[in-house]
Amino acid sequence: MSDLPAGVERRAIDGEDGLATRGEPVYGEPTQDGWRRWDAHRSKLGAMLELGMDTGLVGGETVLYLGAAAGTTVSHVADFAGPTYAVEFAARPIRDLLDAAESRDRLFPLLKDARKPETYAHVVEPVDVIVQDVATRGQADVALANRQFLADDGRLLAAVKARSEDVTADPEDVFDAVVADLESEYEILERERLEPYHADHLGVVARPR
């Protein structure tokens, strides 16, 4: 396994070893001594770390998180990162996301559409990392549209959901097509399927060209 970022540790909680961060619980995850289990079965980024992908995360980064939903993963990110901008379009999960942000002064929820970065460009500063977990058709387009925020030496950490692009196509064909689109502006450093944690998902680590 590649090195974990500062602020993320492997800990035995409730008798089970796994990733953990320090912070208030968000989604009913088990806690111990201020540490909270980071459930990789509920977090694509957690799965990337569990699988040993070289995310480049060291801790303290400024992060733009696209597709924050109710805050399951982005709350863990805000536990170890620097300023963390959490973009979520659906109104339903925003309340949970706001609750997660109450105890995290580095987490900034934005009720915005990740496909329209011009609507939050006045708020988001240049970032070291873009984490993309947007389950929508055109996942490569989202990463390309938000490239403007990413530092030249930054990282894109994307979870590509095959079924969001095409429910009938072979997932590997979908992954190849998305990666090919990304390569117009990103250099792909690593790609790996996220099984057994997430079926038909591909983890991608890339940097701007």
Binding residues for S-adenosyl-L-methionine: 72-73, 88-89, 113-114, 133-136
Binding residues: 72-73, 88-89, 113-114, 133-136
Domain span at 129: 56-208
Tell whether 1 is covered by a domain. Answer: no
Tell whether 2 is covered by a domain. Answer: no
Which CATH number fits the domain that encloses residue 196?
Answer: 3.40.50.150
How many structural domains compose the chain? 1
Tell whether 171 is covered by a domain. Answer: yes
Look-up of token digits 């030249």 = 152
Model confidence at 98: pLDDT above 90: yes
With bands split at pLDDT 50, 70 and 90, how would you rate the model's confidence at 3?
A: confident
Largest CA distance in the chain: 46
What sign does the CA torsion over 139, 44, 184, 78 have?
Answer: positive
Tell me what percent of the residues of the chain surpass a pLDDT of 70: 99
- pLDDT (0 to 100) of residue 143: 98
pLDDT digits (tens, 9 = 90+) for 129-175: 999 999 999 999 999 999 999 999 999 999 999 999 999 999 999 99
Tell whether 117 is covered by a domain. Answer: yes
Tell whether 17 is covered by a domain. Answer: no
pLDDT digits (tens, 9 = 90+) for 170-208: 999 999 999 999 999 999 999 999 999 999 999 999 999
Q: How far apart are the first and last CA of the chain?
A: 26
- pLDDT (0 to 100) of residue 2: 65
pLDDT digits (tens, 9 = 90+) for 107-129: 999 999 999 999 999 999 999 99
Mean pLDDT for the stretch of residues 87-103:
95
Tell whether 194 is covered by a domain. Answer: yes
DSSP codes joined into one string, the chain: -PPPPTTEEEEEETTEEEEEEES--SSS--EETTEEE--GGG-HHHHHHHTT------SS--EEEE--TTSHHHHHHHHHSSSEEEEE--HHHHHHHHHHHHT-TTEEEEE--TT-GGGTTTTPPPEEEEEE---SS-HHHHHHHTGGGEEEEEEEEEEEEHHHH-SSS-HHHHHHHHHHHHTTTEEEEEEEE-TTTSTTEEEEEEEE-
With bands split at pLDDT 50, 70 and 90, how would you rate the model's confidence at 1?
A: low
Tell whether 114 is covered by a domain. Answer: yes
Tell whether 44 is covered by a domain. Answer: no
My answer on whether omega of the bond before 171 falls inside 30° of 0, hence cis, is: no
Mean of the per-residue pLDDT values for the chain? 97
Tell me what percent of the residues of the chain surpass a pLDDT of 90: 98
